[in-house]
Structure 1
């Protein structure tokens, strides 16, 4: 019988710890980091070339 009480206590402590860690993560907005990382490959990383100072003369 003592084992069941101990098991329930440990399980409740794990649940409480999980809820606290989840609340801490949401408060510090850590959950948005994965969204930003998933969008990095979609960003346009090629910059437009600057117009060159040597342009061809127009006829």
Structure 2
């Protein structure tokens, strides 16, 4: 799921003005780039194979009882 302003910006299709503003912000300010990268790395860990396997096992374990 994409959360606007958390790991990226959502911009309506064809909204060139909003795109330019957000691009300019990212070019001028390092903080959002760093923050987006940090949050994205944490979110990415949720989709690693070991994490998915652990969640799946936790989910199906009660079904086997």
TM-score by length of 1: 0.42
- Scaled by the length of structure 2, what TM-score is found? 0.39
Q: Identify the structure with bigger relative contact order (alpha carbons < 8 Å, sequence gap 6+).
A: 2
Larger Rg computed on CA atoms: 1
